[in-house]
Amino acid sequence: MVLCVTGCMAAGKNAASDILEKHGFVAIDADKVVHEILRGKTFQEKVIFTFAPFAEKSGIVLRNCDGTLNRRNLGKLIFADKKLLEIQESIVFPEVDRKIEEFIESGMKSGKDVVVNATVLYKIPSVKKCDAVIFVDAPVLTRLFRARKRDGMKTVQILQRFWSQKNLFSKYKKSNADTFKVNNTGDLTALEEKLMKKIGELKNEK
């Protein structure tokens, strides 16, 4: 079985992925894949060159003191402008898709169930490899509290990211993937019970 675990910022998709790993799944985190790609000098320079004019207008510095890409400042820039976010995705998503496809194939060959932990997998072809999408959900205020506690970001930045992810559930539904919501409003034990119930149902349907 290949699952996509997704959800809006601070809904709990990472926690859900960790739970499934505990139950024998192998998981790949698309955010970490993006970070790995952006650590490469070629991609860093391409991103900095592409966004430098926009960053200069906004007074945002894209390089750290050592010359490497400041990913947090990049996030401030692109999540405030949908068009810039789309440009960033066009640069990194083909490589993200390739790495995810490789991971899925490796997991399936080893006989393991696979989890792809990703917010916007619907935007790349790898989503077609998934048997189902588990959409982890939580109320906006709950997510805002979690994000502020976890990331230390300003409220306005968090809300910008929330806005960029609006209608995320419907976008997965439109991708023709079998998409199911799991509400994460309690503790981790409650989330685990809900997840494993859904996994059991999915495996029985196969």
Q: Give pLDDT, residue 19.
A: 98
19-to-2, 55, 178 alpha-carbon distances in Å = 15, 39, 21
What mean pLDDT is predicted for residues 104-114? 97
How do residues 140-195 score in pLDDT, each as one tens digit? Answer: 999 999 999 998 888 998 998 899 899 999 999 998 889 999 999 999 999 999 99
pLDDT above 90: residue 205: no
49 Cα distance to chain centroid: 25
Q: Give pLDDT, residue 195.
A: 97
pLDDT above 70: residue 206: no
206 Cα distance to chain centroid: 26
- Global confidence as pTM: 0.91
In whole angstroms, give the CA distance from residue 179 to residue 171: 10
pLDDT above 80: residue 85: yes
Q: Give pLDDT, residue 160.
A: 87
In whole angstroms, give the CA distance from residue 101 to residue 187: 32
pLDDT above 70: residue 78: yes
pLDDT above 90: residue 79: no
